[in-house]
């Protein structure tokens, strides 16, 4: 069966007309115009006006950087809002289901529960790779979205092009590839394949490599058709003015972002080398991200010992396939040095 978006969109959403804000109804602002249409306070303080609901100037910069037209970009209040919009647009509560592959990002499950959508979970392999056949076998005619997180959190690895392709081509619902960590990966982004696959949705974020977790800006790339649906249901002013300004400043200085990524990758290598020397670390999982997952003798004990030394990492021991693992975010050179010293002292 061929992928058809009209078979995927919820009936009420297909019929919905977007809320039209004052700024939607009159866009062509020129400096000498008088705006008395949105009940704003007229006294200028930098944020007295509503932000651009389409975030045009942010999208133009992203479009230049990523080579994707602005009509195929949707912005949200973090990727978490983007993911929630996907549930609300395409998954009928108490009827449809979504598929994801644990251990992975916790938000897919939380958002499914919040939206009252059944989940089908297919574990990754011991090496945290996709079980393609099992994943495609679990889908039903009510399966709307498969979430692939690549590079995956918390395991750190990116999935091969071949495995992802098998999922994208083998499913006639939507496949979301969460590329939150793609800028740290040796694997290529799936962005350039976007126009080949009408069922493909790629999410990225400014929270990790771009160093802007505090402004909350998530990005969704998809077909114009999918973006049109999401634009209709998003809250009109979901990305605030301060966020748009900060994002633009950073996007204009992408060379700084690149330098930081390079530094973080060098630090990741040093951290991996140092971890080999820690006696109770039995496994260092290969990382395509800005963190490293390690297996230790007793994750909870080591976690608590590090807290006592003033260092907070993430204990992942309760996650499937992650017994006695710790997730270490790569910090600055001096932070990583402190981590390594502490890891050695507590031996
Ligand atoms: C950190 C992270 C995100 C980022 O979410 P934001 O809401 O954009 O901050 C998305 N996906 C995964 C897998 C992550 O680890």
What does the pLDDT look like over 228-240, one tens digit per residue? 999 999 999 999 9
Indicate whether 125 and 49 sit together in one domain: yes
Q: Which of 280, 288, 260 is nearest to 326 (CA)?
A: 280
What's residue 41's pLDDT? 97
User: 116 pLDDT exceeds 90?
Assistant: yes
What's residue 347's pLDDT? 83
Task: Kindly report the CATH number assigned to the domain that includes residue 207.
Answer: 3.40.640.10
Mean pLDDT over each residue of the chain, to the nearest integer:
96
Q: Is-cis flag, bond preceding 154, omega within 30?
A: yes
For residue 68, name the pLDDT band (cuts at 50, 70, 90).
very high
What's residue 1's pLDDT? 64
Indicate whether 219 and 97 sit together in one domain: yes
Indicate whether 162 and 63 sit together in one domain: yes
Domain end: 252, 271, 305, which one?
252
For the segment 186-214, the average pLDDT, to the nearest whole number, is: 97
For the segment 280-306, the average pLDDT, to the nearest whole number, is: 98
Which residue among 76, 77, 79, 329 is best mutated to probe the pocket of ligand 1, counting the most ligand atoms within 8 A of its Cβ?
79
Which atom from ligand 1 is nearest to the alpha carbon of 213? 9
Indicate whether 170 and 34 sit together in one domain: yes
pTM, to two decimals: 0.97
User: 29 pLDDT exceeds 80?
Assistant: no
Residue 47 lies in a domain: yes
Domain end: 192, 226, 252, which one?
252
Enclosing H/E stretch for 334: helix 333-345
Is any atom of ligand 1 closer than 6 Å to the C-beta of 207? yes
pLDDT, tens only, 86-111? 999 999 999 999 999 999 999 999 99
Is any atom of ligand 1 closer than 6 Å to the C-beta of 205? yes
Residue 4 lies in a domain: no
Number of domains in the chain: 2
Q: Which residues contact 263 (CB under 8 A, 6 or more apart)?
A: none
User: 208 pLDDT exceeds 70?
Assistant: yes
The Cα–Cα gap between 111 and 113 comes to: 5
Angle between helices 78-90 and 224-233 (to 10 degrees): 100
Residue 1 lies in a domain: no
What range does the domain containing 229 cover? 9-252
The label of the residue with tokens 């979301």 reads 176
Residue 203 three-state SS: strand
Residue 231 lies in a domain: yes
Indicate whether 227 and 157 sit together in one domain: yes
Indicate whether 166 and 288 sit together in one domain: no
Domain end: 252, 275, 310, which one?
252
């Amino acid at each position: 069966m061929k992928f058809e978006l009209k078979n995927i969109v919820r009936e009420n959403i297909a019929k919905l007309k977007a809320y039209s804000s004052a700024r939607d109804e009159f866009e062509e602002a020129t400096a000498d115009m008088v705006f008395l249409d949105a009940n704003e306070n007229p006294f200028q303080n930098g944020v007295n006006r509503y932000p651009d609901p389409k975030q045009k100037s942010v999208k133009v910069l992203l479009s230049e950087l990523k080579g994707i037209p602005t009509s195929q970009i949707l912005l949200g209040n973090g990727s978490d809002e983007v993911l929630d919009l996907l549930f609300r647009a395409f998954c009928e509560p108490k009827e449809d289901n979504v598929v994801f592959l644990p251990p992975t990002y916790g938000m897919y499950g939380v958002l499914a529960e919040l939206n009252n959508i059944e989940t089908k979970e297919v574990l990754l392999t011991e090496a945290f790779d996709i079980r393609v056949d099992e994943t495609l076998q679990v889908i039903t005619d009510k399966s709307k979205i498969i979430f692939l997180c690549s590079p995956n959190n918390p395991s750190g690895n990116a999935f091969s092009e071949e495995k992802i392709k098998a999922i994208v081509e083998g499913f006639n619902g939507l496949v979301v590839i969460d590329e939150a960590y793609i800028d740290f990966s040796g694997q290529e982004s799936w962005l350039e394949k976007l126009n080949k696959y009408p069922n493909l949705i790629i999410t990225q974020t400014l929270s990790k490599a771009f160093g802007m977790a505090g402004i909350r800006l998530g990005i969704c790339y998809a077909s114009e058709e999918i973006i049109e649906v999401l634009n209709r249901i998003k809250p009109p002013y979901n990305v605030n003015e301060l966020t748009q300004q900060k994002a633009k400043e950073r996007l204009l200085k992408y060379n700084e972002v690149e330098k930081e990524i390079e530094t973080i990758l060098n630090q990741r290598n040093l951290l991996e080398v140092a971890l080999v020397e820690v006696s109770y670390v039995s496994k260092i999982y290969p990382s395509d991200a800005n963190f490293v997952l390690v297996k230790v003798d007793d994750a909870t004990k080591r976690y608590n010992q590090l807290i006592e030394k003033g260092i907070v990492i993430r204990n992942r021991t309760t996650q499937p396939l992650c017994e006695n693992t710790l997730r270490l975010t790569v910090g600055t050179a001096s932070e990583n040095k402190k981590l390594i010293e502490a890891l050695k002292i507590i031996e």
